[in-house]
Amino acid sequence: MLESRINIIVQHLTQYGIDVRVEDSDWTRPAFEHPLLTLQREAEHQKFVILDDALTQVIPSGDQAKPLIAQGYIDEKQARGYRAQNLNFVDEAGNAFITFGNVYIDVRGRRVSHRTPERKDAAAGVSASGVNLFSARRSRLLFVLLTWPYVPRLTIREISTLSGVSVGLAQETLKLLQREEYLSVGPGPQLLRQRELFEQWVMTYPHQLAPRLSLEAFRSSEPGLHVPLAPEMEVSGESALPELLNPSTLTVYVEEFTPRMAVVNKWRRDEHPNVFVRHKFWTDPSSLDIEAPTLAGNLPTVPSTLVYADLLASGEPRQREAALILKEHDERLVRIFRS
């Protein structure tokens, strides 16, 4: 039972961008009553000891291993108690609270899957056929679906155009979403369990989609001052919230980078960049969207779904705090987190 549970939670943690190493696979040995896992993200790593129940089990000492509670399902009341005690946990539904170094994962609201056993991988974002729902290209489509709620009702070709993916991939992904009960079936389809879907998208964003979007990186003595050299240039991250943060970095999204952008703005190559140029892969459905672009200084911002993801992906506490404020006050994010 414990081996099966660990296999499931390893899938969830991997989906959240965590590399997991099981210290030993010999589950028949009594010494592994408390199995050990090593979790790692980039340079940060931490050894954890697996516990079924933190309240009744003795936490093993030594080896500097932190406890990680692994249960079939942890309801919100239990989760609040564990968070209050700063206890790391993860359950088979995918709810998780993991902190070590600058790694912070907090996934809430996941429900126990009632899928058949052969589809358990789908609960971690992988379909029965082994398809990763949160791959870089599928994440593009998910971003568009989550950002503009009417998009699922458009034609496949329109959805393909807005998300910058092929018609075939768009159609395949929509079918996968329906199979995994994230998209209603029938006329007027709409996204279901948006909060769950969005939280998984945000967790995987730094390791799936974001690396594929990087175009250039520079350093500027005044990252807050910039000349918009392309009509489609939009800002994200802390640059999109100058009223909350004093931005020390600039993140811009453009359809195509030209060297003139760097020359005019006096951006220079440096080992420690603070200006990040990324590919704007989506097409704004301006002819359909009644929302006017939000401005940050003299540039429009990317949709708040992407601002939120970029803030959390920064790994900086001050940007994470800003993300929490944005989550509570932005209409689009409020809609997603209440669904």
Residue 118 DSSP symbol: G
How deeply is 26 buried, as exposed, middle or buried, from its count of CB atoms within 10 A (0-12, 13-18, 19+)?
exposed
Query: Are 251 and 236 spatial neighbours (Cβ–Cβ below 8 Å)?
Result: yes
Residue 140 has pLDDT above 90, yes or no: yes
Percent of the chain with pLDDT over 70: 80
Summarised one tens digit per residue, pLDDT across range 50-107 is 887 554 444 444 457 889 999 888 988 889 889 888 899 999 888 999 999 888 888 8
Confidence of residue 115 (pLDDT cuts 50, 70, 90): very low
Tokens of 131: 């398809």
Closest CA to 290 of 140, 148, 142: 148
Average pLDDT over residues 170-175: 94
Confidence of residue 224 (pLDDT cuts 50, 70, 90): low
Residue 130 has pLDDT above 60, yes or no: no
Range(s) within the chain of domains with CATH label 1.10.10.10: 120-203
Closest CA to 23 of 52, 46, 53: 46
The matching CATH number, chosen from 3.10.580.10, 1.10.357.10, 2.60.120.10, 1.10.10.10, for 120-203 is: 1.10.10.10
Residue 179 has pLDDT above 50, yes or no: yes
* Beta strands 19-22 and 96-100, pairing class: unpaired
The answer to which of 126-140, 195-209, 221-235 has the lowest mean pLDDT is: 221-235
Query: Are 68 and 90 spatial neighbours (Cβ–Cβ below 8 Å)?
Result: yes
**CA pair distance 276, 273, nearest whole angstrom:** 7
Average pLDDT over residues 206-234: 82
Closest CA to 262 of 297, 298, 217, 302: 217
**CA pair distance 43, 155, nearest whole angstrom:** 44
Q: Taking each helix axis from N to C terminus, what angle separates 136-147 and 194-204, rounded to the nearest 10 degrees? A: 140
Length of the chain: 339
* Mean pLDDT, the chain, whole residue set: 82
The answer to which of 26-30, 31-35, 251-255 has the lowest mean pLDDT is: 26-30
CB atoms closer than 10 angstroms to residue 243: 7
Q: CB neighbours of 117 closer than 8 A, spacing ≥ 6?
A: none
Average pLDDT over residues 37-50: 88
The structure's pTM equals: 0.68
Query: Are 70 and 61 spatial neighbours (Cβ–Cβ below 8 Å)?
Result: no
Confidence of residue 24 (pLDDT cuts 50, 70, 90): low
Closest CA to 66 of 88, 95, 90, 96: 88
Residue 44 has pLDDT above 80, yes or no: yes
Alpha helices in the chain (DSSP H): 2-15, 76-84, 136-147, 156-163, 167-179, 194-204, 210-213, 259-265, 304-313, 317-329, 331-338
How deeply is 70 buried, as exposed, middle or buried, from its count of CB atoms within 10 A (0-12, 13-18, 19+)?
buried
Tokens of 82: 């564990």
CB atoms closer than 10 angstroms to residue 43: 7
Predicted pLDDT at 317: 87
Predicted pLDDT at 119: 37
Q: Which comes out higher in pLDDT, residue 117 or 85?
A: 85
Residue 283 has pLDDT above 80, yes or no: yes
Predicted pLDDT at 1: 53
Predicted pLDDT at 229: 57
Residue 311 has pLDDT above 80, yes or no: yes
Confidence of residue 21 (pLDDT cuts 50, 70, 90): confident
Summarised one tens digit per residue, pLDDT across range 318-327 is 998 999 999 9
Residue 28 has pLDDT above 50, yes or no: no
Residue 128 has pLDDT above 50, yes or no: no
Helix (H, G, I), strand (E, B) or coil at 336: helix
**CA pair distance 51, 33, nearest whole angstrom:** 9
Residue 334 DSSP symbol: H
**CA pair distance 308, 327, nearest whole angstrom:** 8
Residue 39 has pLDDT above 70, yes or no: yes
